[in-house]
Every structure is written in structure tokens, then in C-alpha cells.
């Protein structure tokens, strides 16, 4: 039997690397900076719904100026964005705010 790996401790575990999970990670980092956290995503990439659904023409039915994060506003001229644009936005937000480093993909 192989020896047990050292266990990691996190104060907070966030499940899901989509819009809500990334938003929660940002809030934890800014409102509870003394707390450690990890974001677990079962898929191999972040984006949640916008990573899962990739069929032609997939887009938001909500205005991205109100759907986007208040801490990192939507800057595109397209209010109703294509799915790939939303996924790119989520990835950029996660990188800009150091969330990607706290993600564990394929978990």
C-alpha cells in the first residue's frame, strides 16, 4: 500500500468554475483575505455552462452589462454575447484576479 499523501487544508472550498464559482472566489479573496480557499472544477477547463455548451449560435439571453461581474465590467460592444465570448471573459477575469492559481481542474 502506497503511503498517504500529505493532506492540504483549506478554510473554504468552492465547487464549480463557472460564473458563480469565479464570483465566489473573488469575494472570498477580497472579503476574507486571511482565509485559504480552493476552487474545484470537475471539467478540464473553467467556464461552467459556457464551457459545456459549445453548439453553433449559443449565446446569452441576458444583457452582459448586467450579467457580468460588478468588479470586472463587460467591455465588449455586444450586449448579448456569444458563448465563446463569455467563456473568454470568465477566463480573463479569473486570470486577472489570481483565481486560476487557486483552481483545481478535473477534480
What is the value of pTM for the model shown?
Answer: 0.88
Cell reading at 43? 471539467
Tell me the per-residue pLDDT of 68-90, one tens digit each, with 9 for 90 and over. Answer: 999 999 998 888 999 999 999 99
Strand 103-105 relative to strand 37-41, pairing = parallel
Cell reading at 47? 467556464
Tell me the per-residue pLDDT of 14-56, one tens digit each, with 9 for 90 and over. Answer: 999 999 999 999 999 999 999 999 999 999 999 998 998 888 8
Amino acid at each position: 500500500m502506497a503511503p498517504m499523501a500529505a493532506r492540504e487544508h483549506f478554510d473554504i472550498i468552492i465547487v464549480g468554475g463557472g460564473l458563480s464559482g469565479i464570483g465566489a472566489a473573488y469575494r472570498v479573496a477580497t472579503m476574507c483575505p486571511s482565509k485559504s480557499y480552493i476552487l474545484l472544477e470537475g471539467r478540464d477547463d473553467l467556464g461552467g455552462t459556457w464551457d459545456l455548451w459549445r453548439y453553433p449560435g449559443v449565446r446569452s439571453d441576458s444583457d452582459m452589462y448586467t450579467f457580468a461581474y460588478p468588479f470586472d465590467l463587460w467591455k465588449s460592444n455586444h450586449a448579448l454575447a456569444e458563448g465563446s465570448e463569455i467563456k473568454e471573459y470568465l477566463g480573463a477575469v479569473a486570470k486577472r484576479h489570481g483565481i486560476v492559481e487557486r483552481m483545481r481542474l478535473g477534480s
